[in-house]
Amino acid sequence: MLRTVRLRLLVRGISEVDVKTQRVADIYTGWFVALVGVFVLISSTWISEAGIHRLSPRTFPHVVGFLLVACGIGLALKSWSLRTEGPTIAWPDGVGVRTITITLICVAGYIALMDLLGLPLATFAYLAIATWYLNRSRWLMALMIGLITGAVSYYLFIRVLGLSFPAGVLFE
C-alpha cells in the first residue's frame, strides 16, 4: 500500500513539477540525495584495495554513500508524513530566471574563453558585457570598467607578480 502511494506520488510529481512548498521540495530533494548516495556507493566499488592498510580506501565512500541514502530517504519520508505544507519557496519569476541564466552564461563564457583570449582580454569582455547587462543605460561605464580592470590585471598579475595566468592571443 505504502509502495503504491509512493510510486503514485513519484509519477505525479514528475508529470507536473510543482515544487512550490517546502514540503514538496523536500520530498523531491530527499529522493535526489538518495540517488546521489547510490551513485557514490556504486562508484566506490571500483576503488582499488591495493596496499597494506587497516582502513580500506572504500570505507569512507561507503559511509558517505550510506549516509546520503539514509538521510535522503529519511528527509523524503519525513516531509511526506507532515501535515503542514511549510513555507513556500521563493523561486525566481520569469525575469529573475532569465537574468540568472544570462549571468551564468556570461561567467561560463568568461571561464571558457580565458585560456584562449587570455586573462586581460577575457576580463575586459566579461566585465563590459556583464556590467552592461545589469544596467543597460550605463554602457560607457561598463566599457571603461572592463578596460581598466583588464589593463590592471595584465600589469599587476602577469607582469609585476608574474603569476601564470594565460596572457592570451594578444599578449603572447
Tell which residue, 29, 25, 48, 27, has the closest CA to residue 37: 29
As measured in angstroms, the least distance from the Cβ of 9 to other proteins is 17
Which residues ranging from 21 to 80 are in contact with other proteins (CB under 8 A)? 22-23, 25-26, 29, 33, 36-37, 40, 43-44, 47-55, 57, 60-61, 64-65, 67-68, 71-72, 74-75, 78-79
Q: What is the chain's alpha carbon radius of gyration, rounded to the nearest angstrom?
A: 25
In the complex with other proteins, the residue whose CB is nearer, 6 or 78, is 78
CB 150, CB 124: distance < 8 Å? yes
- C-beta closer to other proteins: residue 7 or 96: 96
Task: Mention every residue, 6+ apart, whose C-beta is less than 8 A from residue 110.
Answer: 122, 123, 125, 126
Q: Rule CB under 8 A: is residue 88 a binding residue for other proteins?
A: no
Cβ nearer to other proteins, comparing 7 with 86:
86
Helix, strand counts (H, E) of the chain: 7, 0
User: Which residue number, 17 or 52, has a Cβ lying nearer to other proteins?
Assistant: 52
C-alpha–C-alpha distance, residues 151 and 28, integer Å: 47
Binding to other proteins in span 106-145, by CB under 8 A: 107-108, 110-112, 114-115, 119-120, 123, 126-127, 130-131, 134-135, 138, 140-141, 143-145
